[in-house]
A and B are shown apart, each in its own frame.
Chain A
Amino acid sequence: MRPFRDLPIGHKLITLSVASSTLALVVCTGVFLTWTFVSLRTSIRTDLSLQADILADNTAAALAFNDPASADETVAALKASSNVDLACVYDLAGQLFASYLAQVPRLVCPARQPESGSALGGDVDFMRQVVFRERTYGTLYLRGNFGQVRERLAAQALAALGAIGVGVIAAILLSLRTQRVISEPIAELSSTAARISHAGDYSLRAVRRTDDEIGELVETFNGMVEEVARRDEQLRAASRLKDEFLAALSHELRTPLNAVLGWVQVLRATPYDPALASRAYASIERNARAQTTLIEDLLDISRIVSGKLQFKLETVDLVAVIEAALEVVRPAAEAKKIAIERLLPASPQIIIGDPNRLQQIAWNILSNAVKFTGAGGHIQVNLEPNADDIVLRVRDDGIGVAAEFLPHVFDRFRQADGSMTRPHGGLGLGLAIARELTELHGGRIVAESPGVGLGATLTVTLPRSATRPIAVTSSVPADDGRLDGLRLLVVDDDEDTRELARVVLVGAGATVMGAANAADALNLIRTGTVDVLLCDLAMPGIDGYELMETVRSGESNGARIPALAVSAHAGSVIEDRVRRAGFDAYVSKPYNFESLFLAIRGVVGKS
């Protein structure tokens, strides 16, 4: 037999209902029977008491005038009362004067007056003085029984039992029907939940039939199922996006490599032809840079998302920044014969920001505009200075954005066409990065487009944090790219890298020594013939940090070698560590040579 709490709800309800009805009936009947019992007894007692009083009154004369016959006659009237067992009248001497006996075997009045009525036995007894006009003539004893009560009570108890039986049956029948009101909605909800769970079909909903807690539960349940369905869909969509992204990523990464490898093979296979070689170099360089940019973008997004992107806030001339960005996209625009119209203020426009990142924003937007504008198209670049902010507006007459895609234009990895045959490459990161960077500067970026084929306008609003004009140095210093007379030590465990660096640096007029490990490097440094140290950080054994620390700790006053750290890893965490180890600057691989020369000159200039 299962415990009560494990019974089906319907059974529980019926059981509870019937149990409480039965209890109520039993209690009710018990109370009623008890009350009947008590009140019957009381009424019999009252009746007999009255009879005793009347008899006492009526036998006075018989006693006074010594007429036992009359007394017998009077007392005989008790025959009508079935509650009386016997009545005994005694004179003043205590002698039995008259009596009435009901048909109770072996029951007689004692010849002498008893002490008290209880001596007569019976269920109830009375004793009365026979008094008339303040004179006592004798004593009356009356003995009664409650037999009537027992009979009546037995009859009533039987009837009550029958009534209880009928009541219980009625309760069962009623609750069989009415329990459905509660149990059916619950069962329905339960089975719907089971169906949804088993089939994984989140389009099903439970039906709300009642306006009570179950109805609320149904609503809540449906809400939860909808939430599950929604998240399920979101997961699928995200998964689809991820798949699309991975496919695009794979393609984007491989394509440049294809070009590079392809041209290398061509160069190997073909006898030296300057024109071919030139084309080859250009293509190889372009593709390598493109891949670098791709990877930088990915890293940027990753850093932004994990909150690890760091800014260097400076006063920046936004005009200069935009002009620099325009310079970068110029070749691509010229190749497509796209005209770029500049509407820039003549004077410098100062804002507080990270110059590199601001340029990145501008370049991303411009590059996007160039990419999506057809040949012979037109791009307008507009910089509007206001009191509190500056607005950069880039308008193009390219393929535009469809209205339903417009809200998603800045989403990561989202492109209007995610298929493999899409005409424009890339990973859809450019605008996402632009938005993140803008917002990190406290600004806003908005995309507008009348529709497909009708061009688009991107508007970036950046707040000025300071308005005082100060003497601004251009963020892109002039450089003549020469390192004449400098003796450089290149420390890198990779021979190709060392060789490449040597060729480049010698080409710029420097003298280059190479070391494959920290020990060789230290030896060379001790010879005192090194002006600048170029050190790869990631080396097996003693790494760049350790080498630097060792060099610095071995240096005495004034003989400080300018040192540059070079690493394929990037990030400001590296920069901090690099400075702490003792380096003066940091260059990340792959570097372009102008910035490398600049950095070398920078550290030489400082020391």
Chain B
Amino acid sequence: MKRWWLTLALAMPFAGWHTPLIAQRNLEIEVKAAFLYNFLSFIEWSPAAFAKPDAPLRACVIGGDPFGPALEAIVRNERISGRPVVVDRIKDESQIAGCHALYVPALDETPLVSIMRAANRRNLLVVGESRRVLELCGTIAFVLDGERVRFDINRSSLADRDLKANSKLLRVAREASDRFGHCEH
């Protein structure tokens, strides 16, 4: 039910108070939040990634918090494969232990590399905002195609991180390949 409301909210333009650009920017956030959550459905972790069958899926957002309450709103009371989803906001890479998925906002090269180095030592899903993330063995990167939010998928990253992506997800991606760059452990 919540989902439906969100989609309705997404469908309705924020006419009136916001400038088109701001409205668009808010819409983009909403969509990304929804997509992020959906990624969690379409990705499969190995059972070893979880302590118990009903252990929660931790989705971590590092650095800034572009989503605001949108993400929590989406994940509240939802379950993926029987697991509750929990959203954690973490300051830096030292806290990424225990995350199953990590969202990395747009960052400069240095902090990005540092985060990615930490992230690459673990089997977690990394969702970023640039192609550079994918080159650094990130898994999914959002991309704006005109007004539409789309994403690319680095398949080598999936393989390296012991993650499986549903084929439908791969099909819907703008680009899903292993040309972005090898991952090193």
Contact = CB atoms under 8 A, between A and B. Distances in A.
Interface of A: 57-58, 60-62, 64-67, 70, 91-93, 95, 132-136
Given A64-B42, A133-B81, A135-B41, A70 B171 contact: yes
25 contacts: A58-B168, A61-B42, A61-B171, A62-B172, A64-B41, A64-B42, A64-B172, A65-B150, A66-B31, A67-B172, A91-B7, A92-B3, A92-B7, A93-B4, A93-B7, A93-B8, A95-B11, A132-B41, A132-B42, A132-B166, A133-B42, A134-B79, A134-B81, A135-B3, A135-B41
B7 A64 contact: no
A367 B38 CA distance: 146
Nearest to B8: A93
B44 to A, nearest CB: 10
Nearest to B174: A67
Nearest to A73: B171
Q: With a 10 A CB-CB cut-off, give which of B42, B78, B79, B150 has the most chain A CB atoms.
A: B42
B79 A60 contact: no
Nearest to A57: B168
A135 B4 CA distance: 11
Given A92-B3, A93-B4, 14 more contacts: A57-B168, A61-B169, A62-B172, A65-B35, A70-B172, A91-B7, A92-B8, A93-B11, A132-B166, A132-B168, A133-B41, A133-B80, A133-B81, A135-B41
Interface in B141-155: 148-151
Contacts of B149: 66
A42 to B, nearest CB: 30
A57 B168 CA distance: 9
Contacts of B38: 64-65
A58 B171 CA distance: 10
The majority secondary structure among interface residues of chain B is helix
Interface in B111-148: 148
Contacts of B166: 61, 132
A412 B8 CA distance: 133
List the 5 closest pairs (A to B, CB-CB), nearest first: A61-B168, A64-B38, A61-B172, A92-B4, A65-B172
A64 B173 CA distance: 12
Contacts of A58: 168
A135 B151 CA distance: 21
A81 B81 CA distance: 34
Contacts of A134: 79, 81
A58 to B, nearest CB: 6
B42 A66 contact: no
Interface in B30-85: 31, 35, 38, 41-42, 78-81
Contacts of A133: 41-42, 80-81
Interface of B: 3-4, 7-8, 11, 31, 35, 38, 41-42, 78-81, 148-151, 166, 168-169, 171-172
A270 to B, nearest CB: 162
A64 B35 CA distance: 7
A134 B85 CA distance: 14
Contacts of A132: 41-42, 166, 168
Nearest to A134: B79
A128 to B, nearest CB: 15
B141 to A, nearest CB: 14
Contacts of B78: 135
A66 B11 CA distance: 11
A94 to B, nearest CB: 9
Q: With a 10 A CB-CB cut-off, give which of B11, B149, B151, B172 has the most chain A CB atoms.
A: B172
A300 to B, nearest CB: 130
Q: With a 10 A CB-CB cut-off, give which of A62, A70, A135 has the most chain B CB atoms.
A: A135
Contacts of B171: 61, 70
Contacts of B80: 133
Contacts of B148: 66
Contacts of B35: 64-65
Contacts of B3: 92, 135-136
Nearest to A67: B172
Contacts of A91: 7
A57 B169 CA distance: 12
Nearest to B82: A134
Nearest to A64: B38
A58 B172 CA distance: 10
A60 B171 CA distance: 11
Contacts of B31: 66
B40 to A, nearest CB: 9
Contacts of B79: 134
Nearest to B149: A66
A133 to B, nearest CB: 5
A93 B3 CA distance: 10
Nearest to B173: A65
Nearest to A95: B11
Contacts of A65: 35, 38, 150-151, 169, 172
A446 B150 CA distance: 139
A517 B163 CA distance: 159
Contacts of B81: 133-134
A561 to B, nearest CB: 149
Nearest to B1: A92
A92 B5 CA distance: 9
A91 B3 CA distance: 11
A95 B8 CA distance: 10
Nearest to B4: A92
A269 to B, nearest CB: 160
Nearest to B7: A92
Contacts of A135: 3, 41, 78
A138 to B, nearest CB: 9
Contacts of A66: 31, 148-149
A132 B42 CA distance: 8
Given A65-B35, A65-B38, A135-B41, A60 B7 contact: no
Nearest to A132: B41
Contacts of B172: 61-62, 64-65, 67, 70
Given A92-B3, A132-B42, A135-B3, A60 B168 contact: yes
A66 B35 CA distance: 9
A132 B168 CA distance: 10
Nearest to A91: B7
A91 B34 CA distance: 14
A91 B78 CA distance: 19
